[in-house]
Structure formats: structure tokens, C-alpha cells
Copies of this chain bind each other. A is one copy, B any other.
């Protein structure tokens, strides 16, 4: 690999002039620029970005910490963010935590050592004191994506309005007459969306004089397995409410598998709504009502905030983006219809009978 020295020598100029010619420095004669360009061409010179970064004190690199890149929503954010930042010459250093909070912390330190110019964070557990310590000690811009760290004023945040999203979705279910809703959520208290969604859910219930019964709020790390397990338990106990509300999308496959395995017809024997909209929700038959949000917009906003901060142009900022209710057939039936169907003659079922009975509390509650 040719170095700047060789190029300089070949062009008969000083190394500094090569830098100037290539970096669009204002005061460079056309003649010198030509000679440098020719020498660059001949040698195939490509500046060493490691060396440039060391000297410049900035690596033109942005770190992304993500709790799980296989989650299509997070993959989409990474994708768009990489694109936004790439336009300005920044590369992305990816760190996936695989749901392990300890990795979040390790990643912050590693990326710091790699001298990233900024950090985008979709961590596993925003409450981790260690993580907070690591993040607040950073001396470069940080943007939190759907994460909230009180007191971390130096960071920007791009949040969706998960409170409103969950609130509206819950109201939608209540409007259909559902008196009991099973809410399957990710770990409470670990991240902003889970927290806000719970608040939206309980508030909507309370506004109608209902309460979120603890046994109907099931919380765990978002895995397919747990989604399946919860449904199995509810069915086994004969206590599946007329409506189910799902938070994080990794639960969804498990939930659907268990419903299908038991012959529970989504949309008929149970209403099902999701707070994450993923391809699976749209393509399921019947399609699933979901709360949709534009990861592209989140990434675009995050990207421009980071770029602005890196160039020192702006102050940290919190941006809240709306989510959109996407009504689909999985919640079209009224609670009454759902409960009637369940009690109705098994013979009418197209598939094998569902192991469903009316929930203990029932609609009469």
C-alpha cells in the first residue's frame, strides 16, 4: 500500500501538499493539484484512515450499540443509520449485545477505545448503573434510540410516542368490548418502550374504570419461547382473555405458533394486537392489528442529530416521533363475538377444536 510519502516524492512535492491537494484545501495551485492527482493515480494511493484519525483526533467512525440485530426493527434502524452516516463519510462500528446488559457496557468501552466520533445506543437495559456511568463519561455525542436516561443531558434522544401508541391500542380493544386484555411485555423497567407502553396500557384501562390485573400483565425477556409459554399457560388454565396485546415482536412467533397448535383462531377465538409492526403481522392470516412506526425516520433524525453534534453545530435534543395505529382484521371482532364463538358448537370449527374456554372472570366481570 502506497503511503503519502511515496506520492509526494513522485509528484515532487511535500507530503503536506498531498494532504492539501486531496482534502480540497483552498490555497492549492492547479498545477500542484494536477501533479498530485497524477501521482495518486499512478500509485493507487489510498490514505490510511487509521493514521489520519490518530493525527486528526477523530476516526470518522460511529458506533452503534444494539440489543439484538436480528430483530427486524432494529436491523432497519442500523441499516438506515449506516446509510445516513455513510453519506458523510462515516463508517459504522457495530456492537450487538445479544440481550446481555454486560455487553452493552463492554461495547461502550470498546467503542470508546476505538475512538468513535459518536454513538447510537439501543441498549438492553437503560437502567444499568454501570452503563450509565460508562455513557455519561463519554466526551463525544451520544444519541439514544427509544431509550431514556434521566440526567444524561448531554445525550440526544429519538423516541417514539409509545405511551400514546399503547394507549390508543388499548382503547381500540376496549372499544370492541374487551373487558380483559392479556398484555405480554418485555422486561419492565429496562427500556423506555416497555415502560411507556405499560403506562399507556394501564392508563387507558383506568380511564374506563378498569384495572390492569397483575396476572394479565406478563413480563419477560422478549423471546419466542416465552410468548408461546404464556399462551400455553393461559389456555391450559382456561383463562385466556378475549384479547391479547403483544409488546416486543420477538414474542409474536411463539404466540402464533401456540395459537395455531391449539386450533385457536386469531381474530375469531381471540383478538390479537401488536405494538410492533413486523412483516409477520401484516402477512399473517388474518393480518394483525399493529402499531407501526417509521424506523427510517428515526434513523434519519438520529443521523442528522449526530452529524450536527459532531460538527458542533447543535445542542443535544429530544425528538418524539408518532406511531400509527394500523387496524387489521385480527381485532375486528367484538369481545362479545369472540366469547360467543368460543362457547359455540365445536362442529362449526374448521380446524380441530380449540382448547379455549371463557376466561374465569368472563365478560360478566
Seen from chain A, the residues whose Cβ lies within 8 Å of a Cβ on chain B are 1, 44, 46-51, 53-54, 59, 61, 69-70, 72, 75-76, 78-79, 82-83, 86, 91-96, 98, 109-115, 137, 139, 253, 256-257, 260, 279-280, 282-285, 350
Contacts and interface: CB of A to CB of B under 8 A. Distances in A.
A115 to B, nearest CB: 5
Nearest to A103: B86
28 contacts: A46-B109, A48-B54, A49-B113, A49-B115, A50-B50, A50-B59, A50-B114, A69-B78, A69-B79, A69-B82, A70-B72, A70-B75, A70-B79, A72-B72, A72-B75, A82-B95, A82-B96, A86-B95, A91-B110, A91-B111, A92-B93, A92-B94, A93-B93, A93-B94, A94-B94, A253-B283, A260-B285, A280-B283
A330 B284 CA distance: 15
A61 B257 CA distance: 40
By Cβ-Cβ distance, the 9 closest A-B pairs, closest first, are: A94-B94, A49-B113, A50-B115, A75-B75, A50-B54, A46-B113, A49-B114, A92-B94, A50-B53
Contacts of A53: 50
A283 B287 CA distance: 12
Nearest to A112: B46
B114 A94 contact: no
B280 A256 contact: no
Contacts of A285: 260, 284-285
A23 to B, nearest CB: 14
A54 B1 CA distance: 14
B83 A96 contact: yes
Contact of A76 (B70, B94, B253, B260): B70
Contacts of A139: 1
Contacts of A253: 279, 282-283
Contacts of A137: 44
Contact of A54 (B46, B54, B83): B54
